[in-house]
Amino acid sequence: MATTATAQAAASAKPLKVLMLDTQGEYFSWAHSISNMGHRWDLLRVDSARSMIDYLRENPYQAVVVAPSTKLHQDQDCLIKAMQLQPRAVRVVLPGLVGSSTQISRTTDLAHRVFGDQDSNESIANAIEIQVKLNRLINKAQTRDFLRSGGPLPSPPLVYKALSEALNNELSNAAQIAAIVQRDPALVAKVLKMVNSAFFGLQRQISHIGEAVALLGVRMLRGLALSGHLASLYPQHDAWAAFSFDRVNERSLLVARLAMQIAKDMQCNIAVQDQAFLAGLLHDIGTLFIASQDPARYLEVMTLSGQKHASICVVEKKLLGFFHGEIGAYLMAHWGLAPQVIEAVLLHHTPQLCGNPHFSPLTAVHIADALLPAVHNATGADLSNPLNKAYLTATGAHVQLGQWQTRAASLLRAGPGPH
C-alpha cells in the first residue's frame, strides 16, 4: 500500500520546470532524450540570451541550463541574470565549456554544477533533480523563520562586495586590492596575523598589506573578510559556556587551510581551491548562530547529544527541526555565495547526499573537518564529523587520505588548534 501511495504521489507531482539556453543548437533533441529516460520535465529550450532573460522575468523555473557557446562572457552574463532574477533556481552548465583558467573559474563560481564530457545525460538529469531537492532543503520555511527571528538578516560587509567585484575584474591589481583591504583595520590585522603564522613558514615577518595580498590572493582575503564579519555579528552570548566561539573560529581556519590544500593536491582549479577554503571557514557558522541567538535551547541539544552519545546533527534535527548545516547554507545563499560553497556548508556531515561522484569543495571540507579533532565542549556532545569512506572512494579521494592525515597533524602543530 505504501509503495502504491508513493507511486501515486510521484505521478501527481508537477513536472520540473527547466529553462535551457542553447544558442548553437547542439542540444536540440535534449528534451526528448530526458523524457525517454523517464524524467518528468517541462523543459523550454531557447536559442538566444535575450529570450532566456525574458522568460526568466515572466515565469518561475526550478533549474536553468546553459549549453556552452563560443561567447563565454554572454553565457556568464546569463548565469548572473538567472541568479539575480531567480536566485532559488539551480544553475548548471552542460559539457563543452572552453576558456581561460580565469573564465572557467568565474563560471565555476556562478553555477551549481559545471558538467564534463565524462557525465552522461542520465547522470546530468539525476544531478539536476538532486540539486533542486537540496535547494528546497536550504530554503525551508522553518529554517528561514528561525534565522529571521532575531530581526532582518544582515547584508554582507562592504569590503566583501568590493573584493568580489575586484575578483571579477581582470584589470584589478595588487595595489587596488590592498587599498580595499585597508578600509577594514580589523581585516588588515587578521590578514597579517595569518600570513605570518607558522602555516606559511616564511623566513621573515610581513608587515605591509600589499605583500600579504600578493601571498594570499583576492579569494582568500574575501573569505577572511566574510568570516571576520560573521564573527562580529554573532558573538558568544554571555550565558554561553559549553564551548569557546574563539576556538571554533580558530578550528574553522585550520579546516579551511587543510581543505584548500586537499583541493590543490587533487589538482583542482584555483576557483575550487578557494571555494574549499571559504567553505571550510564557514562550515560551522550555523552552530555559532544557533548558540548565539538561542543559547538555552542549544544547550539542551548539546546536553542530549552528550547523554545519548548521538551525533549533534541528529539531535539538532530532532529538537530543533533543522541542523546547523541548513542554517549556515541558508545564510550563505542569502548572501549570494557560490553554490559549491553553500553545498559544502550544508552537507559537510553527510556528503553522500550531494549525488555528485566527482571531487568537489564539499569533498575537501568533509575530509578536513573529519581529520581535525572537534573543539572540546563541557557537555560531552558529539561534535565530530565521521569520515564517510564509501563517499571518498566514489570520488577517488581515498587514495591520498594518509597524506592528508599527516598534513592535519602538521597543521595542528603549526597553527592555533582546538583545546
Residue 74, classified by CB atoms within 10 Å of its CB into exposed (0-12), middle (13-18) or buried (19+), is middle
Between residues 94 and 192, which one has the greater pLDDT? 94
> Which pLDDT belongs to residue 199?
61
**51-60, 133-142, 195-204, 257-266: least confidently modelled range:** 195-204
Architecture of domain 144-414: Orthogonal Bundle (1.10)
pLDDT tier, 417 (very low <50, low <70, confident <90, very high otherwise): very low
- Mean pLDDT, the chain, rounded, equals 88
- Encoded amino acid at 201, one letter: G
The predicted model gives 244-248 an average pLDDT of: 91
Predicted pLDDT of residue 2: 44
Say what the pLDDT of residue 126 is: 94
What pLDDT, on a 0 to 100 scale, did the predictor assign at position 419? 33
Q: How far apart are the first and last CA of the chain?
A: 53
Same topology for domains 2-138 and 144-414, yes or no?
no
Average pLDDT of span 136-155: 86
Among residues of the chain, what percentage have pLDDT more than 70?
A: 94
pLDDT for res 418:
37
Q: pTM score, two decimals? A: 0.87
What pLDDT is stored for residue 302 in this prediction? 96
pLDDT reported for residue 271? 86
pLDDT for res 381: 93
Domain boundaries, the chain: 2-138, 144-414
Higher local confidence (pLDDT), 191 or 109: 109
CA distance linking residue 378 with residue 191, whole number of Å = 31
User: Is the per-residue pLDDT at 327 higher than 80?
Assistant: yes
**Confidence tier at 131 by pLDDT (50, 70, 90):** very high
Of residues 153 and 236, more confidently modeled: 236
Residue-wise pLDDT for 379-395, tens only, equals 999 899 999 999 999 99
pLDDT band at 161 (very low <50, low <70, confident <90, very high): confident
pLDDT of 267 higher than 80: yes
Going 118 to 120 to 125 to 126, the CA torsion angle's sign is negative
How large is the average pLDDT for residues 217-237? 81
Instruction: Specify whether the CB–CB gap between 233 and 245 falls below 8 A.
Output: no
| Confidence (pLDDT) at 180 | 85
State residue 31's pLDDT score. 85
pLDDT of residue 11: 46
Range 17-21 average pLDDT: 96
Of the listed ranges 56-70, 149-163, 271-285, 390-404, the one predicted with least confidence: 149-163
What is the band of 148 on the pLDDT scale with cuts at 50, 70, 90?
confident
Residue 414 pLDDT level (bands cut at 50, 70, 90): confident
pLDDT tops 90 at residue 307: yes
Residues 330-335: what's their mean pLDDT?
89
What integer pLDDT is reported at residue 198 of this predicted model?
66
Alpha carbons 91 and 66: distance in angstroms, whole number: 8
Fold of domain 2-138: Rossmann fold (3.40.50)
CB 78 within 8 A of CB 107: no
User: How would residue 9 be classed by pLDDT, with cut points 50, 70 and 90?
Assistant: very low
> Is 90 exceeded by the pLDDT of residue 68?
yes
Quote the CA–CA distance of 36 and 246 in Å, as a whole number.
54
pLDDT single digits (tens) 185-222: 877 887 888 778 766 667 778 888 888 888 777 778 77
For residue 121, the model assigns a pLDDT of 92
Question: What's the average model confidence in pLDDT over 312-327?
Answer: 95
Instruction: Give the mean model confidence (pLDDT) for residues 163-192.
Output: 79
What value, to the nearest 5°, has the Cα angle with vertex 95 and ends 25 and 93?
85
